[in-house]
């Protein structure tokens, strides 16, 4: 079982090999990281913005300490972003995936 906040293994502020390169400053609050990551994903969902989504996705997974619900929702978002057959369907999938991420984070954080 993974430990809670402050554990050096999962604390992005102290762990040198953390995947979360998305942070901007030492000591940044987890809520700020979450808000920034969700803003990037929301912009991708609303269309018109082709942003790098890997970093915000891993940031959300890292701040949730590897929560299975958050990770599953984030992977759903990645799959929706890769869908390329129909742009309208892709938009609907992204909105649904974004909602899954918000719900998973609400239960975790």
Say whether domain 30-108 belongs to CATH 1.20.81.
yes
Segment 35-40 mean pLDDT: 90
Segment 15-20 mean pLDDT: 47
Of the listed ranges 3-17, 23-37, 48-62, the one predicted with least confidence: 3-17
Categorize the per-residue pLDDT at 99 as very low, low, confident or very high, splitting at 50, 70 and 90.
Answer: very high
The whole-model pTM stands at 0.72
Which tops the pLDDT comparison, 71 or 50?
A: 71
Which tops the pLDDT comparison, 17 or 25?
A: 25
The reported pLDDT for the residue numbered 104 is 94
As a three-state string, the secondary structure of the chain is CCCCCCCCCCCCCCCCCCCCCCCCCCCCCHHHHHHHHHHHHHHHHHCCCCCCCHHHHHHHHHHCCCCHHHHHHHHHHHHHHHCCCCHHHHHHHHHHHHHHHHHHHHHHC
For 60-87, write each residue's pLDDT tens digit: 988 888 889 999 999 999 999 999 899 9
Q: Using the predicted structure, report yes or no on whether residue 50 has a pLDDT greater than 80.
A: no
Q: Using the predicted structure, report yes or no on whether residue 9 has a pLDDT greater than 80.
A: no
Find out whether 39 and 73 touch, Cβ atoms under 8 Å. no
């Amino acid at each position: 079982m993974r430990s809670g906040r402050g554990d050096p293994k999962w604390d992005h502020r102290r762990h040198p090999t953390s995947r979360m390169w998305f942070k901007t400053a030492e000591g940044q609050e987890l809520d700020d990281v979450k808000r920034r990551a969700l803003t990037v994903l929301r912009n991708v969902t609303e269309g018109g913005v082709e942003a790098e989504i890997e970093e915000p996705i891993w940031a959300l997974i890292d701040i949730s300490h590897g929560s299975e619900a958050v990770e599953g929702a984030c992977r759903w978002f990645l799959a929706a972003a890769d869908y390329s057959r129909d742009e309208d369907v892709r938009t609907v999938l992204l909105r649904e995936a974004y909602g899954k991420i918000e719900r998973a984070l609400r239960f975790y954080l």
